[in-house]
Structure 1
Amino acid sequence: MNQNIQSIIASVALSTMALLGSMSTASAQSPDEDLQTFKGGLVDMAADIKELELAVLYPDADQLAVYLSIDAADTFNVTAITLMVDGEKVHSALYTEYQQDALRRGGVDRVFLGDVEVGEHQIIAYISGTDARGRKTKRGVATTFIKAADANAIELKVGVDTSSNRPTFVATEL
């Protein structure tokens, strides 16, 4: 069990003991204050449990994150993305106007967060959208990477070729 999971389990155990201890001792607080303290303790425990859940589901050794960003805000508008890892479709999404606006203003979308085994893998992303002239465009970008024992991240970036004013698509390992 890795150190991160052990520390989260210890935190949850200590929170539980502190919460139970505060309930069993007589306090000078009113029942409403006791209830608020209890609720606060439950919220803290819920956050610790959620963190533990993520650490168990997505251990750092197996974790892969894929992000999408746009450097071509004036020349390309992303409407959809399909992501494949080793030939298996792992994510597909349509972007709302709100999400498109966030990407145009410099936002980054976490397209995928999941587990892959250590070794060589291929990612293929199909990105659909409209260019500056309103023409529908669908392009694929592929990259091969070697998954190490640490967490890996890949950025899919939509840029612009200034000579042709057309979008470019690049995958970069972070």
Structure 2
Amino acid sequence: MTDSIPAVVPAGRMAALAQPTYTLPGGMLLRPWEPHDAPALVASYADPDIRHWNRPDPLTGDRAVTRIARWRERWHTERAAVWAVAASEDTVAVGLIGLADFDLRGGSAEIMYWLLPAGRGAGATTEGVSAVTRWAFGDLGLHRLRLTHSVANPASCRVALKAGYPLEGTMRGALLHADGWHDEHLHARLRTD
């Protein structure tokens, strides 16, 4: 009977936490999204790599501001934790790193990320994934985090491995992209790793 198994992360723990800001090596910040970051969400749809691997929605500036407000709400309702990658508190974001598909009772979530060209090449994704991983295990108390990506995306595979997410296997035909069904690599970490 599952009622006799306590929740790994009790309801309300995440909502009680303030979303932290982290300084990443190389001078980038991982911080909460702000309304002034809306242009980054609009630009993410225009970037062919982000559009191909992440399937973002086309957004106007107003819809992007609404999306950012929804991410803040999802923090408080314990359904997602999404950070902006930016050069400072005041500059527009150049990327996104976060957790979605929460199962707080079961203690798991999925890492997601993308970077615009202006943020690529300095290791911000790997360092940001590592920071979010430490927060998820240490502060939130999750047990398992997973990271998936198309097998045709070796850059994401490098990020996963550098951030300490070993490859667990390949999920066949797991995600539909514009060019058809892609097999996906499944990487994961446990709090005890």
TM-score of the alignment, normalized to the shorter chain, above 0.5: no
More strand by share: 1
**Greater relative contact order structure (CA < 8 Å, 6+ sep):** 1
**Smaller-chain TM-score bracket:** under 0.3
TM-score normalised according to structure 1 size: 0.25
